[in-house]
Amino acid sequence: MNKRIETHVNDLFANTSSDIHILDIKEELLANLNEKYDDLMISGKNETEAYALVISSIGDIDSLIKDIGQSPKYLPLEIEKNTVKRSVFISIGVALYILSIIPIIWFSKTNMPELGLVILILICAIASGFVAFGNSISKSKYTRANNTFVEEFKEMVTINNERSKLKGALSSSLWSLVVVLYFLLSFFTQWWYITWIIFLVGACAQLLILYVFSDNLRRKRLWHGILWVATVILYFIISFSFNAWVCSWTLFLMAVAVEQIIRLFIIWKSAE
């Protein structure tokens, strides 16, 4: 690590708070500058030139900290409003799609099953309107004014905020769908003793959503949970379906072996 760069960064943050998100910005800036410095040195620049270039690439740190204030997020007001509106309308649309199967269930036991289908089509039409309107709302995002660290950081945070809201909408819709499917399958099959497994499937799907929308560090922690939840799901499905309780427990031994193989693969990839 270049000591001159570290000293300069420490001076920039000398009068800032010690909140965790401020420290995260500082650490990210320091890593970014040192990486650029090393690249410039490899490209043939001398120490003075490399130092001057990386320092000039920082941008206005004071404005970034002022924009963020005491919040770890940076999102201009207009973008925030559009993002919230889009999330609300699309979430309502998805919820209506999920609920649209309820009339089919209700009217299937009556002399008017066709009415259930008509209501389903009507609800789906309304849901499509909500989703279409939500998608029509501008997806405007922060556009950086230059290639400094400050502008790159603001752009990165707006993208992460968008992904975070989408993750929340998907998670909410997922559990609504799980509950509806649970009752639907239970009523039609009368397999109440096994349909509860759908909640385990929902938990596994929740972990997969988190995995997709997480960074590499978080993903390394999540794969372990996905593996074991999936193992438990397979254990109960095989055990109930084939009454194979005597041998189905060996799935957990297999999961241990798979876990070790994945760990070795991760170590091998890290060593490359």
Tell me, letter by letter, the H, E, C secondary structure of 185-215.
HHHHHCCHHHHCHHHHHHHHHHHHHHHHCCC
CA-based nearest residue to 195, from 152, 249, 236, 154:
236
User: Residue 236 is encoded by which pair of tokens?
Assistant: 């109960």
Q: Are residues 99 and 204 located together in one domain of the fold?
A: no
Residues 119 and 30 in one domain: no
pLDDT of 114 over the 80 cut: no
117-156 burial, b if ≥16 CB within 10 A, otherwise e?
A: eebbeebeeebeebbeebeebeeeebeeeeebbbbbbbbe
Q: Which of 44-58, 91-105, 108-122, 211-225 has the lowest mean pLDDT?
A: 211-225
Considering the chain, what percentage of its residues have pLDDT values greater than 90? 1
> Which of 189, 217, 242 is where one domain is finished?
189
Q: Decide if 93 contacts 131 (C-beta within 8 A).
A: yes
**Structure tokens given for 100:** 């649209």
Which of 13, 36, 68 delimits the end of a domain?
A: 68
- 41 and 101 co-located in one domain: no
| Same domain as 92, residue 127 | yes
Could you tell me the two tokens for 109?
A: 């036991």
- 10 and 111 housed in the same domain: no
Give the Cα separation of 53 and 47 in Å (integer): 10
Q: Which range of residues forms the domain containing residue 266?
A: 196-272
Boundary of a domain, candidates 159, 189, 219: 189
What is the arithmetic mean of pLDDT over 61-87? 59
pLDDT over threshold 50, residue 73: no
Mean pLDDT, to the nearest integer, of 250-258? 89
Q: Per-residue DSSP letters for 120-135?
A: HHHHHHHHHHHHHHHH
Would you call 69 helix, strand, or coil by DSSP? Answer: coil
Chain-centroid distance of CA 40 in Å reads 34
Residue 166, pLDDT score: 65
Joined together, the tokens standing for residue 261 give 């193989």
Residue predicted with more confidence, 68 or 32:
32
Quote the tokens at residue 133.
């309107």
Together in a domain, 216 and 177: no
Answer whether 91's CB lies under 8 Å from 169's CB.
Answer: yes
What is the distance between the alpha carbons of residues 195 and 89, in angstroms, rounded to a whole number?
A: 31
pLDDT of residue 141: 58
Pick from 85, 69, 173, 65: which is nearest to 134 by CA?
85
Is 36 in the same domain as 86? no
Q: Are residues 129 and 53 in the same domain?
A: no
Residue predicted with more confidence, 160 or 133: 133
Structure tokens, 228: 């074991």
Whether residue 129 sits in one domain with residue 201: no
**Residues 230, 234, 236, 237: is their CA dihedral positive or negative?**
positive
Contact yes or no for 193/214 (Cβ under 8 A): no
Residues 79 and 157 in one domain: yes
Considering the domain architecture, whether residues 157 and 175 belong to the same structural domain is answered as yes
pTM of the model: 0.51
- Give the range with max mean pLDDT: 118-127, 182-191, 205-214, 228-237: 228-237
Residue 102 tokens, joined: 């309820």
In angstroms, the CA 170 to CA 216 distance is: 20
Q: What is the largest CA-CA distance in the chain?
A: 86
Of 73-82, 164-173, 250-259, the one with minimum mean pLDDT is 73-82
Confidence of residue 177 (pLDDT cuts 50, 70, 90): confident
- Residue 39's pLDDT band (cuts 50, 70, 90): confident
Q: In the chain, how many domains are there? A: 3
Verify that 246 and 200 share a domain, yes or no.
yes
